[in-house]
Amino acid sequence: MRHLLIACCIALCAFSTLGAQAFLCGGHAADEPLSAAKITGEVRLPVLPASGSIYVLAVFARFADEEPTPVPAWADQLFDPEREGSFAHFYHEMSFGQLAITGEVLPQRLAAAQAASAYLADAPGQRGRHGDFAREILAQVDAQIDLARFDNDGPDGVPNSGDDDGWVDYIFINMQSVPNGFLFGSATGLASLGLEEKPFVSRALGPDGSPIRVSGLSSQGAVQETGNFAQTVGVMAHEFGHSLGLPDFFDTSFLKNPTQNPAEDSAGIGRWGLMGWGAHGWDGMSGPAAFSARSLEQLGWIGAKNERLILVERDSWDLRVRDLYSGGAIYKIPLRAETPNNNTLWTEYLLLEYRGRESYYYHRGEPAAGLLVWHVRPQVFDNDDERRKHLDLVAADGQYADAGFPLGQTADRFAGRDNLDFWAHDASYARARGGNLGDASDLFDGVRYRRLAVETNPSTLATPTLSQATTGLTLQNMRPDGDGLALDVVMPRWGGVLREEVHWAGEVLIDGDLTVA
């Protein structure tokens, strides 16, 4: 039996040109209930491979009561691998050539049989009838083209040759508009065609005479509202990220509880990654933003098969961090104290990623160049609680109890929040507290922000309840170094009285007597 996972997600920019509506992703469909393996980011849902080649079909569609408009003139460039900013170019670049996307666009926009109101949910909190819409559109597609050409996941690279699985590999349905209640609440994008209960059966036949089918799972299709070329690529790229198994890295709690206190809302990682608010880029019109280091790690795209993910387990002096796409690497630093959860010990860690905004197309528009310090908590499911996220950006400008930098007056390196945390859908709340979707002072620049340690704000101790018998991790002496940044990494030392339950892994550095109370 198939189950439905609604993992509501946002990847929108407030300055979208989609009228009053920006991109708001409503989740993806899963084949089975959520498990601990999935919440760590080691996703085991039915997903597309992160290497090889995938041939996709994009269909532009509208409701019967919408003005008939042609397919955009730029649509045939969506899968042009030579055009910077195209869907194919983005995934080729992000994957270091490990994933090749090819595809085609149906040349005319198809219309559903009924007006938009016929496909809306019966009540708030329910999914709309986008599956019925998709089925009507697919029937028209099936009458025009041979869908067997899009079943090409077998090893010989030839579609419908007998080694394929009998399912269309991937279909995008690009909407002229998405009204509230069509997908899920106010969502304007969803990694599902809505066919989970009953797949679409085409007239095309496989070599054995069985019909080629279209699935509703997130690994095989998505529905989203489109905008200009860059916005359309951004929303398609975000939804396709789910199909590769990526989770969302922003706070989705407002969709589950729209009336919640805005203090419980946040931006997650903001615009610093595609699976956050990066679909429309930094100005709302020039997406997609690059994947975060964590997303790249999950896909095996930090270089080929993560060959440029470098583990740092000992003191390292003059460590040079450069932009990954300029020949650099991303550094992974385990945080030694582990967290017990469900009888499993989870090692949290930092990822050090340098962004050079002038050196790479998909970093353009970023507010500054510098070092992003990512904190990964594998045992946490999502980014809904800004106090404990799966992926948290350690913002260089610190944490405050009352407002984000520079408005904040009460520094609080343990329980405080940063500008990303103070952002909310309630614009007046966010404005009064300096909340935003990312800014230049999030980065360690090696000039103003040069050190991250236990005593600094932000701190390498996420909470004062952790053991006071450790010096904690120290990142110090950060300084500009050519087209990157250099720093020293000093691993934690232990000494004194140990009063808490502590779990260690790997090499532990003892600096003086260590007494267990």
pLDDT tens digit sequence for 438-488: 999 999 999 999 999 989 999 987 655 445 556 688 999 999 999 999 999
Could you tell me what percent of the chain has a pLDDT over 70? 83
Beta-bridge mates of residue 493: 509
3 state SS for 215-265? CCCCCCEEEEECCCHHHHHHHHHHHHHHHCCCCCCCCCHHHHCCCCCHHHC
Q: Which two tokens stand for residue 364?
A: 């353009």
pLDDT at 359: 80
- pLDDT tens digits for range 287-305: 899 999 999 999 999 999 9
- pLDDT tens digits for range 423-439: 999 999 999 999 999 99
pLDDT at 40: 30
- 385 vs 344, higher pLDDT: 385
Query: Does 44 have pLDDT greater than 50?
Result: no
pLDDT at 253: 83
What is the biggest distance separating any 2 CA atoms in the chain, rounded to whole angstroms?
Answer: 78
106 burial (CB, 10 Å; 0-12 / 13-18 / 19+) is buried
pLDDT at 6: 31
pLDDT at 1: 31
Query: Does 272 have pLDDT greater than 90?
Result: yes
- 47 vs 249, higher pLDDT: 249
Number of other residues whose CB lies within 10 A of the CB of residue 66: 16
Long-range interactions of 127-130: CB distance < 8 A, separation 24+: 127/4, 127/6, 127/183, 127/184, 127/194, 128/181, 128/182, 128/183, 128/184, 129/182, 129/194, 130/182, 130/183, 130/190, 130/193, 130/194, 130/223
CA distances for 291 relative to 14, 108, 238, 269, 281, angstroms? 20, 32, 10, 11, 11
- 495 vs 398, higher pLDDT: 398
Sign of CA dihedral 438, 440, 443, 448: negative
pLDDT at 30: 40
Query: Does 140 have pLDDT greater than 80?
Result: yes
Query: Does 9 have pLDDT greater than 70?
Result: no
pLDDT at 29: 47
CB 410 within 8 A of CB 403: no
pTM for this structure? 0.89
Question: Quick one: average pLDDT of 57-85?
Answer: 97
pLDDT at 503: 64
Cα 191 to the center of its chain, rounded Å: 13
Query: Does 5 have pLDDT greater than 60?
Result: no
Beta-bridge mates of residue 225: 175
Question: Quick one: average pLDDT of 79-94?
Answer: 98
Going by pLDDT thresholds of 50, 70 and 90, the confidence category of residue 210 is very high
Query: Does 25 have pLDDT greater than 90?
Result: no
CB 266 within 8 A of CB 386: yes
493 burial (CB, 10 Å; 0-12 / 13-18 / 19+) is middle
pLDDT at 347: 79
When the pLDDT of each residue in the chain is averaged and rounded to a whole number, the result is: 86
pLDDT at 340: 53
